[in-house]
A and B are shown apart, each in its own frame.
Chain A
Amino acid sequence: MEKFNVLWQSTALAHFSAGQLVMMLVGLSLLYLAIVKKFEPLLLLPIGFGALLTNIPLAGFSEAGGILYYIYNVGIDTGVFPLLIFMGVGAMTDFGALIANPRMLLLGAAAQFGIFATLFGAIALNWLPGFSFSLQDASAIAIIGGADGPTAIFLASRLAPELLGAIAVAAYSYMALVPIIQPPIMRALTTPAEREIEMEQLREVSQREKIVFPIAVLLLTILFLPAATPLVGMFCLGNLMRESGVVERLNKTAQNELINIVTIFLGLAVGSKLSAEKFLTVETLGILALGAVAFGIGTATGVLMAKLMSRLSSKKINPLIGAAGVSAVPMAARVVNKVGLEANPHNFLLMHAMGPNVAGVLGSAVAAGVLLALVG
């Protein structure tokens, strides 16, 4: 009988807590979203599976000695994984559309209002019982509005590691939901006539400009915002490898093999933070709500800024492209293109939206740097 008891105690069945079961269900629903709904499958699949693994009783994946514990400490605690991802994103990004029309950077800046407004909202949530967000927590939550996964993870790992799981899940879920969240806001803030505006074709950009661009960005960051140089520096390195044309092999590795390998580990490590005691809190609900608000505000301010620019500028600007200012490359630009085509079937806004889109990546990296410098 005693032997039977020992055997029973060594099964997971005897040790499951309710919280672990719920978190396993959360993991399974992330897998469902990734596989069936195809929401950001590259990240939600490893995150969901990581959530399953970390909640197995007795296996200790996320305790000292477990593999997820080491992956987290090596990659996210140090900030290495999000930075490597950022290098790969840099290698995948073509700044041509932005260099051809640099004023689009203002749209990328305007859309960052979502971040700072959410910071305000996160602190205001403290009026409700059950919430106690510090300024650090609030900053890490607010960066969800930057719609940039690696930036959000990097900032959360610096400022509020205990909220990282919820923040990463919120950031990637909302990025997948961009086609659902953005169009109603875009339509509400523009008139049909504005949505039909066709824009001039962009000029061609020489390779020399594209090579000098990342170096110029890095120089400005070094001078004015050293706190953002980890993010911006890795991004510019990736972009220089792409545009210089002399290190094709490194460029290919950065935007394929390396980013894929890091994505697997990043997803697993984020999943390992989805444990019951950290995720099943009222604060997670607050973070999910704030993330949606951040996205909505960012989209709205981007569109409003584009409207303002189109009033003031001599060149025609379709205000829809302002919505792409919330990075989420290239999904937000595709959404702009789609909404534009609904209004005017001959109006292809994709290339015009890529400008504010990549400007948004720079904008959210700069905003992250500001938060790190002032709050961290």
Chain B
Amino acid sequence: MNSEAISTLLFEASTLLVIGMTFVFLFLTLLIAAINLIAAFCRKFPGHFHTDPKTTLPQAPLPNTDDQPDAKTMAVIGAAVHQYRKKHRLNVKD
């Protein structure tokens, strides 16, 4: 390759360097603005739909101190047993 051709290529390479780096910086700066916008939007409208399972999980009830299950747990167990019996009527003699 003659030196004239190399000089031309070198010039093209330096143009690429300047244009390429400028573009990469501009693009990613734009992306920074976009992320900040998204974050601001999410702060302003903190969501009717909370899809994050960690935040939607209801607070776990405090554990009972005595051995007897509380009224609510009894009601839930009762309902579950009732449901089960209804579904499996054929197998259960009552």
Contact = CB atoms under 8 A, between A and B. Distances in A.
Interface of A: 98-99, 102-103, 105-106, 108-109, 112-113, 115-117, 119-120, 122-124, 126-127, 131-132, 134-135, 138-139, 206-209, 211-213, 216-217, 220, 224-225, 245, 359, 362-363, 366-367, 370-371, 374-375
Given A206-B42, A224-B27, A216 B10 contact: no
B17 A119 contact: yes
A208 B27 contact: no
Most buried by A among B6, B24, B29: B24
Interface residues of B, number: 32
A102 B32 contact: yes
Contact of B17 (A103, A120, A359): A120
B52 A206 contact: yes
B83 interface: no
A208 B23 contact: no
B69 interface: no
B20 A105 contact: no
B1 A126 contact: yes
Contacts of A225: 23, 27
B13 A119 contact: yes
A212 B21 contact: no
16 contacts: A106-B28, A106-B32, A109-B24, A116-B16, A116-B17, A117-B17, A120-B13, A123-B10, A123-B13, A135-B16, A139-B16, A359-B28, A363-B28, A366-B28, A370-B19, A374-B19
A212 B6 contact: no
Contacts of A131: 1
Contact of A112 (B3, B9, B21, B35): B21
Contact of A99 (B6, B9, B35): B35
Interface of B: 1, 3, 6, 9-10, 12-14, 16-17, 19-21, 23-25, 27-32, 34-36, 38-39, 42, 47, 51-53
B64 to A, nearest CB: 32
B77 to A, nearest CB: 31
Given A119-B16, A138-B13, A209-B42, A102 B35 contact: yes
Nearest to A246: B51
A363 B52 contact: no
Contact of B28 (A109, A127, A207): A109
A34 to B, nearest CB: 33
B51 A375 contact: no
Contacts of B29: 105-106, 109
Contact of A216 (B6, B24, B38): B38
A120 B14 CA distance: 7
A370 B23 contact: yes
Contact of A103 (B6, B14, B25, B32): B32
